[in-house]
C-alpha cells in the first residue's frame, strides 16, 4: 500500500468519526464563555500593579512638569482685558473696618497716597491668622474721590493666608509684604508683584475687586482677584502646589526629568548554603556541576532631580542569569577478565599450561549538559548623587538603592539526590524555586557623557547583593545571587532647568 492510500485510509476513517463529548463539558464551556474577560495579568499581581502605578505616577509627574514649564504664560503689558475673576470664599468674609483717623495716608507727588495701617485691629487679625482660609476686606474711606489716586497699603500683620476659590487652591505671598500690595485708586488695587503658585506676575496683571457698601464706603476685597492680563486667568492657575519652584538666590535650579534606557551584560555569582544536615555531598556535587554563565539585564527607568545633585530613579527591568549544568553520572561498568594461557612445551614431556588472569574494570560516564535560565522582572529604585558642572560634558554619579523582585521564573534542569536529571520550569517548580526572590541591594558608579543638550550616554558598572533566598524552604538548601555588571545606556532629558 502506498503512502497516499495509507493517508486516504486514515483520513476516511477518522475525518468523520465522532467521539462522545464528556458530561459537563458544555456547562464548562458556557461558564468559561460567560466569564468576564481576565484583567491584564499584572493587575492581579499587587506588587506589579503597585510598581506600574509608581511608574505611571512618575511618568505623569514628569509630563506635567515638562508641560507646565514649557507653557509658562508670558506676561505682557496692560491691555484692557476681559475680566476673569477668582472669587474668594464669600462665606468667610470678615470685615476689617478701620476708621479714617486710625489710618495713615501718605501723599506722593500730586496724588494723595494713603498708607493704611492695620495695627489697630490686631486682635481681629490674630483671629484671622488662626484660620487657614480667610478673607479680609480692607475699607478705605475716601475723603475726596478726585485726589485719591494711589494708596499704599502697609501692614505689620505677619499672617500668610490661603485663598480658597475655584478652580483649585492657590497660595499667595505673605500679606505683610508691603511692597507687593500696592493698589491704585479707582476703587481697585493692583499688585505689583504677587507670587501666585510660584509664578511672578507683572504689575497690573490683576486687580482687587471693589464693592460698595451701604454708607457709600468703597471696600477693596484683596481676595477677589480680577485678572487684567488676558494671559493670566483662572485657567493658567494650576491647581497644585509646585514645591520645586521656590525662588532661590542662585538664579537657577535643577528641575531635570530623564528617561533612561540601558542594557547590561551581567555575571551572577551563586551562593549556595545548606539548610539541613546530611546534604553536603549533594551540595558538593551541585557546586561542581553548575557554573554561572553570562547573563543580561535590560530596562528603562525615570530619573527626577530632587536637588541640584540628588536624583531619584525608578524603573522596570528584566534580568536573566544563565547557568550551565554539566552532570556527569556513571553510566555503565564493564568488567573485562583477561585470561592469558601460556603453554610450555618440553620435549619428551607433556605440555603444561599456565593461566594468567587479569581483571579490568571500565567505568563509563554519561555527561549531560543543559543551560538553566533564571528570569526576573524587577523594579529598581535608587538615589543618585551626581557630580559635575551643568555645562560640563562629563558627569559622574554614585548610585545606591534596592532592586525589588516583582516576579521570577525558571527554566531548566537540575538533579535530585540520586543524580537523576529533573526538569524544573516555572510551571512545574512545585516547592522548588520561589516566584518572588525579594530584595537586592544595588550600588553603582555612573559616568555620563553629554551628546547633545538633551541626550547623555552613560556607563554604569554596578554590583547587586542578593538579600533573599531564591529557594523554597523545602529545597534543603538556600541559593542567593549576587550580580556584577556594566550597564550601558542613554538618557533623554524631558525637562529643562528653570530660570528665575
Partner 1 sequence: MTICLRYAGSRAEAEDMMQEGFVAIFKSIGQYKYEGSFAGWMTRIIVNAALIVLRKNKFQFAEVDETRYKYQPIDAYAYSHLSEDDLLKLINALPKGYKVVFNLSVIEGYSHEEIADMLGIQPATSRSQLVKARKMLQQQIVELQKIAV
Taking Cα atoms as reference points, which of 310, 444, 449 lies closest to residue 385? 310
Which residues pair with residue 265 across a beta bridge?
296
For residue 472, the minimal CB distance to partner 1 (Å) is: 22
Residue 105 or 409: which CB sits closer to partner 1?
A: 409
DSSP letter (8 states) at residue 426: T
Site string for partner 1, 425-444 (x = CB under 8 A): x-------------------
Residue 26 or 240: which CB sits closer to partner 1?
A: 26
Site string for partner 1, 29-58 (x = CB under 8 A): x--xx-------------------------
Which residues pair with residue 301 across a beta bridge?
260, 315
Residue 11 or 72: which CB sits closer to partner 1?
A: 11
Which residues pair with residue 108 across a beta bridge?
111
Residue 2 or 357: which CB sits closer to partner 1?
A: 2
SS3 content of the chain, % helix, strand, coil (to 5): 20, 45, 35
Residue 17 or 41: which CB sits closer to partner 1?
A: 17
For residue 4, the minimal CB distance to partner 1 (Å) is: 10
The one among 28, 67, 131, 166 contacting partner 1 by CB under 8 A: 28
H/E element, 4: helix 3-15
Position 22 contacts partner 1 (CB under 8 A): yes
Position 355 contacts partner 1 (CB under 8 A): no
Residue 11 or 276: which CB sits closer to partner 1?
A: 11
Report the alpha-carbon angle 469-473-478, nearest 5.
40
Count other Cβ atoms within 10 Å, centred on residue 500: 13
Edge-to-edge order in the sheet of strand 182-184: 113-116, 150-153, 182-184
For residue 245, the minimal CB distance to partner 1 (Å) is: 52
DSSP letter (8 states) at residue 126: H
Handedness of CA 104, 110, 111, 112 (dihedral sign): positive
Residue 147 or 425: which CB sits closer to partner 1?
A: 425
Report the alpha-carbon angle 274-277-280, nearest 5.
60
Position 492 contacts partner 1 (CB under 8 A): no
For residue 8, the minimal CB distance to partner 1 (Å) is: 9
Place of cell 534606557: 261
Residue 16 or 215: which CB sits closer to partner 1?
A: 16
Position 11 contacts partner 1 (CB under 8 A): yes
The separation between CA 124 and the C-alpha centre of its own chain, rounded to angstroms, equals: 47
Residue 46 or 427: which CB sits closer to partner 1?
A: 427
Position 19 contacts partner 1 (CB under 8 A): yes
Residue 5 or 39: which CB sits closer to partner 1?
A: 5
Taking Cα atoms as reference points, which of 312, 440, 442, 306 lies closest to residue 383? 312
For residue 425, the minimal CB distance to partner 1 (Å) is: 8
H/E element, 411: strand 394-415
Residue 19 or 99: which CB sits closer to partner 1?
A: 19
Position 27 contacts partner 1 (CB under 8 A): no
Residue 355 has which C-alpha cell? Answer: 593461566
Position 364 contacts partner 1 (CB under 8 A): no
The footprint of partner 1 on this chain (CB under 8 A) covers a number of residues equal to 23
Residue 13 or 80: which CB sits closer to partner 1?
A: 13
For residue 88, the minimal CB distance to partner 1 (Å) is: 57
The one among 20, 216, 347, 431 contacting partner 1 by CB under 8 A: 20
Stretch that binds partner 1, among 3-11, 141-149, 240-248, 271-279 (CB under 8 A): 3-11
For residue 36, the minimal CB distance to partner 1 (Å) is: 13
Place of cell 527607568: 301
For residue 411, the minimal CB distance to partner 1 (Å) is: 10
For residue 414, the minimal CB distance to partner 1 (Å) is: 17
Stretch that binds partner 1, among 11-19, 39-47, 190-198, 211-219 (CB under 8 A): 11-19
The separation between CA 432 and the C-alpha centre of its own chain, rounded to angstroms, equals: 31
The separation between CA 81 and the C-alpha centre of its own chain, rounded to angstroms, equals: 43
Residue 19 or 341: which CB sits closer to partner 1?
A: 19
Q: Which stretches within 355-460 are classed as H helix? A: none
- Upstream peptide bond of 167 is cis (omega within 30 degrees of 0): yes
CB crowding 50-80: b at 16 or more within 10 Å, else e = ebbebbeebeeebeebbebbeeebeeeeeee
How does strand 93-96 pair with strand 135-140?
parallel
Residue 383 has which C-alpha cell? Answer: 538615589
**107, 144 in Cβ contact below 8 A?**
no
Position 18 contacts partner 1 (CB under 8 A): yes
Stretch that binds partner 1, among 2-10, 239-247, 273-281, 367-375 (CB under 8 A): 2-10
Stretch that binds partner 1, among 21-29, 184-192, 302-310, 440-448 (CB under 8 A): 21-29
Position 332 contacts partner 1 (CB under 8 A): no
Place of cell 509658562: 72
CA 178, CA 194: separation in Å to the nearest integer? 11
Give the interface with partner 1 as residue ranges (CB under 8 A): 1, 3, 5-7, 9-11, 13-15, 17-22, 25, 28-29, 32-33, 425
Amino acid at each position: 500500500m502506498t503512502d497516499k492510500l495509507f493517508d486516504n485510509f486514515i483520513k476516511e476513517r477518522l475525518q468523520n468519526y465522532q467521539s462522545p463529548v464528556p458530561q459537563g463539558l458544555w456547562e464548562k464551556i458556557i461558564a468559561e464563555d460567560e466569564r468576564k474577560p481576565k484583567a491584564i495579568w499584572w493587575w492581579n499581581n499587587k506588587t506589579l500593579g503597585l510598581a506600574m502605578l509608581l511608574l505611571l505616577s512618575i511618568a505623569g509627574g514628569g509630563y506635567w512638569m515638562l508641560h507646565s514649564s514649557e507653557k509658562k504664560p508670558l506676561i505682557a503689558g496692560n491691555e484692557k482685558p476681559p475680566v476673569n475673576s477668582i472669587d474668594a470664599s464669600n462665606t468667610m468674609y470678615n470685615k476689617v473696618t478701620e476708621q479714617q483717623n486710625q489710618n495713615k495716608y501718605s501723599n506722593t507727588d500730586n496724588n494723595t497716597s494713603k498708607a493704611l495701617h492695620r495695627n489697630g485691629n490686631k486682635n481681629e487679625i490674630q483671629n484671622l491668622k488662626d484660620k487657614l482660609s480667610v478673607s479680609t476686606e480692607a475699607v478705605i474711606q475716601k475723603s475726596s474721590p478726585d485726589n485719591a489716586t494711589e494708596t499704599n497699603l502697609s501692614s505689620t500683620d505677619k499672617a500668610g493666608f490661603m485663598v480658597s476659590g475655584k478652580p483649585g487652591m492657590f497660595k499667595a505671598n505673605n500679606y505683610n509684604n508691603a511692597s507687593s500690595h500696592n493698589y491704585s485708586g479707582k476703587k481697585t488695587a493692583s499688585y505689583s508683584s504677587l507670587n501666585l503658585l510660584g509664578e511672578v506676575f507683572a504689575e497690573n496683571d490683576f486687580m482687587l475687586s471693589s464693592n460698595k457698601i451701604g454708607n457709600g464706603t468703597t471696600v477693596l476685597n484683596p481676595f477677589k482677584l480680577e485678572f487684567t492680563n488676558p494671559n493670566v486667568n483662572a485657567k493658567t492657575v494650576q491647581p497644585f502646589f509646585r514645591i520645586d519652584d521656590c525662588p532661590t538666590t542662585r538664579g537657577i535650579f535643577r528641575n531635570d526629568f530623564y528617561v533612561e534606557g540601558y542594557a547590561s551584560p551581567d555575571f551572577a555569582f551563586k551562593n549556595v548554603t545548606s539548610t539541613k544536615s546530611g546534604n553536603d555531598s549533594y551540595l558538593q556535587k551541585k557546586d561542581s556541576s553548575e557554573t554561572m554563565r553570562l547573563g543580561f539585564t535590560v530596562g528603562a527607568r525615570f530619573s527626577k532631580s530632587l536637588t541640584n545633585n540628588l536624583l531619584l530613579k525608578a524603573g522596570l527591568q528584566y534580568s536573566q542569569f544563565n547557568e550551565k549544568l554539566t552532570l556527569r553520572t556513571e553510566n555503565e561498568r564493564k568488567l573485562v577478565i583477561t585470561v592469558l594461557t601460556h603453554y610450555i612445551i618440553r620435549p619428551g614431556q607433556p605440555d603444561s599450561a599456565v593461566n594468567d588472569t587479569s581483571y579490568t574494570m571500565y567505568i563509563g560516564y554519561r555527561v549531560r549538559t543543559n543551560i538553566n535560565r533564571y528570569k526576573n522582572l524587577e523594579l529598581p529604585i535608587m538615589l543618585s548623587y551626581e557630580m559635575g558642572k551643568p555645562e560640563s560634558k562629563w558627569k559622574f554619579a554614585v548610585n545606591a538603592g534596592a532592586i525589588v523582585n516583582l516576579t521570577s521564573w525558571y527554566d531548566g534542569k537540575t538533579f535530585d539526590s540520586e543524580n537523576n536529571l529533573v526538569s524544573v520550569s516555572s510551571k512545574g517548580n512545585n516547592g522548588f524555586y520561589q516566584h518572588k526572590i525579594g530584595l537586592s541591594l544595588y550600588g553603582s558608579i555612573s559616568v555620563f557623557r553629554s551628546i547633545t543638550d538633551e541626550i547623555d550616554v552613560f556607563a554604569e558598572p554596578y554590583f547587586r547583593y542578593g538579600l533573599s533566598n531564591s529557594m523554597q524552604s523545602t529545597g534543603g538548601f538556600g541559593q542567593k545571587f549576587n550580580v556584577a555588571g556594566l550597564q550601558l545606556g542613554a538618557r533623554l532629558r524631558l525637562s529643562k532647568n528653570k530660570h528665575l
